[in-house]
Amino acid sequence: MITLNRRALLAGSAALLASSLAGCATTASSARSQGSTPVRRPVPPEVASMYAAVLDDEYPIRASNMALVPEQFWRQEVPNTTEEPAGSVVVDTTDRFLYHVRDNGMATRYGVGIGAAGFSWSGRAHIAYKRSWPRWTPPSDMIKRHPELEIYRYGMEPGPENPMGPRALYIHQGNEDTLYRIHGNEDERTIGQAISSGCVRLLPQDIIHLYDNVRSGSPLLVV
């Protein structure tokens, strides 16, 4: 486990600027195109239970296949090494972890997928608000790169096919929306990878767990 250095984290704070952000998109096809055979791991019953199907939500959510996810990315409680206060959310883009700092010297650690090269970002911001089963609206720059997204210029309806997944946390810096999100993603092969368009992606069961425990207004640090 790494210890996050406060000075190093602060050095990146100016990089989170809304003027050049890419927004979120599904990149499941990118994960599938890598061509490697996924490694399957034995999954303890308690882990399988933690990532079981969710059938009592607004839309059904299938069980996550944790045999495809390296063990270090399974949700777990760890000592808080971030030096950030309770309630903070810290994203470590190097090791692909998100920490939600608790008030008992511990933190909940989740495995994440992060922005690919060219879409990475860092700095201090805050969780402005949260949404359950959010709409997804691709930014104009993304539509220019991917014209097939034009049909979603005014938003994609919530649901299982929506790339935002079952929950989303909206990241602001000051009073400005950065267009970055922390959101759900059902493709297990993206966890621990750098393939998304800038956003931080968790498995559906993990984003629901984080959503239920984090407060709007919580400080966010990305390094």
Per-residue pLDDT of the chain (223 residues; tens, 9 = 90+): 444 444 333 333 333 333 233 356 544 434 444 445 667 778 999 999 999 999 999 999 999 999 999 999 999 999 999 999 999 999 999 999 999 999 999 999 999 999 876 566 789 999 999 999 999 988 888 899 999 999 999 999 999 999 999 999 999 999 999 989 999 999 999 999 998 767 899 999 999 999 999 999 999 999 9
pTM of the model: 0.83
According to the 3-state scheme, what is the secondary structure of the chain? Answer: CCCCCHHHHHHCHHHCCHHHCCCCCCCHHHHHCCCCCCCCCCCCHHHHHHCCCECCCCCCECCCCHHHCCHHHCCEEEECCCCCCCCCEEEECCCCEEEEECCCCEEEEEECEEECCCCCCCEEEEEEEEEECCCECCCHHHHHHCHHHHHHCCCECCCCCCCCCCEEEEEEECCEEEEEEEEECCCHHHCCCEEECCCEEECHHHHHHHHHHCCCCCEEEEC
